[in-house]
């Protein structure tokens, strides 16, 4: 069941989103050659807790860290480690959640570690732009299929593929709520978007086929063909005045 949020709840979610966005930005600032993903995770956790919030991901279904940090062909759910050291040319996906006063924020971005390839650069830009194209579809009479179709079509323009095995989701008192928010769809189809809905729109885009698998650690999702992947996400509130990016700072 989709849980619609009232004005008071959205105000709290805006605070949760701000904390999430700040933690994500901090993580992105730390991306540079020679830095471990464990260090980035530690600093993200410290910021979230300093703000009086709790990392949404820490312990979630057994996940051992406060942020998912995924590199290159890793799509999502990468586990931070002292043994993973960033190097020049890596593209680094950081996914962060913060739980504050009973509500979650959820946001992700892809960061460049030094100078990246032209292909990686185009992928990162297309992924972010496709998110924006999806958000543009939110309005009176629109449906989830309009959002997903806009995301997929934008990436197809650059010859990229969206991941179909993992999708966006509702956000609120639970980190993952209804509805599912695919990055593909048919215009005019799917659940109607109405004020009070809060959803995480999160394109996961690949240079190759878009097919993925989960590694033996039970978490890290990688492309089956070794192609690069990028990820971009905000928690988005649908209001009478249009979409609001709760995790933007």
Tokens at 234, concatenated: 């905000």
| Mean pLDDT, range 54-81, rounded to an integer | 98
Percent share of the chain, pLDDT over 70: 100
User: What Cα–Cα distance (Å) separates residue 103 from each residue in 16, 50, 80, 235?
Assistant: 7, 17, 24, 12
- Tens digits of per-residue pLDDT, 208-222? 999 999 999 999 999
> What does the domain layout of the chain look like in residue ranges?
7-245
Residue 52 phi, psi dihedral angles, 5° rounding: 80, 15
Do residues 223 and 206 touch, judged by C-beta distance below 8 A?
Answer: yes
- Tens digits of per-residue pLDDT, 145-204? 999 999 999 999 999 999 999 999 999 999 999 999 999 999 999 999 999 999 999 999
| Mean pLDDT, range 85-102, rounded to an integer | 98
| Mean pLDDT, range 69-74, rounded to an integer | 98
Three-state SS at 122: helix
Alpha helix stretches (DSSP H) within 31-163: 37-50, 118-136, 144-157
- Residue 143 — pLDDT band, cuts 50, 70, 90? very high
Instruction: Give the mean pLDDT of the chain.
Output: 98
- Tens digits of per-residue pLDDT, 29-66? 999 999 999 999 999 999 999 999 999 999 999 999 99
| Mean pLDDT, range 138-150, rounded to an integer | 95
pLDDT of residue 140: 86
Three-state SS at 169: strand
Percent share of the chain, pLDDT over 90: 99
CA distance 124 to 63: 26
User: CB under 8 Å to 61, separation ≥6 — which residues?
Assistant: none
User: CB under 8 Å to 118, separation ≥6 — which residues?
Assistant: none
Is the backbone peptide bond immediately before 179 cis, with ω within 30 degrees of 0?
yes
CA distance 36 to 141: 46
- Answer yes or no: CATH 3.90.230.10 is held by domain 7-245: yes
């Amino acid at each position: 069941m989709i849980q619609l949020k009232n004005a008071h709840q959205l105000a709290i979610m805006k605070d949760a989103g701000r904390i999430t966005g700040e933690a994500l930005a901090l993580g992105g600032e730390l991306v540079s050659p020679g830095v471990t993903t464990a260090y980035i995770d530690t600093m993200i956790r410290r910021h979230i807790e300093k703000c009086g919030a709790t990392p949404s991901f820490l312990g979630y279904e057994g996940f051992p860290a406060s942020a998912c940090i995924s590199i290159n062909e890793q799509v999502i759910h990468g586990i931070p480690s002292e043994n993973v050291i960033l190097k020049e040319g890596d593209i680094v996906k950081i996914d962060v959640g913060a739980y504050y006063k009973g509500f979650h924020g959820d946001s992700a971005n892809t960061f460049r570690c030094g100078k990246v390839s032209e292909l990686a650069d185009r992928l990162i830009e297309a992924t972010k732009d496709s998110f924006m194209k999806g958000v543009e579809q939110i309005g009176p009479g629109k449906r989830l299929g309009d959002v997903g179709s806009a995301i997929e079509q934008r990436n197809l323009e650059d010859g990229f593929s969206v991941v179909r095995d993992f999708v966006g989701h509702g956000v609120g008192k639970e980190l993952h709520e209804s509805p599912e928010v695919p990055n593909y769809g048919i215009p005019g189809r799917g659940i109607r978007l109405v004020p009070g809905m809060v959803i995480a729109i999160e394109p996961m885009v690949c240079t190759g086929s878009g097919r993925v698998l989960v590694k033996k650690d039970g978490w890290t999702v990688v492309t089956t063909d070794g192609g690069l992947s990028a990820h971009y996400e905000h928690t988005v509130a649908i209001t009478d005045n249009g979409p609001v990016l709760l995790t933007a700072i």
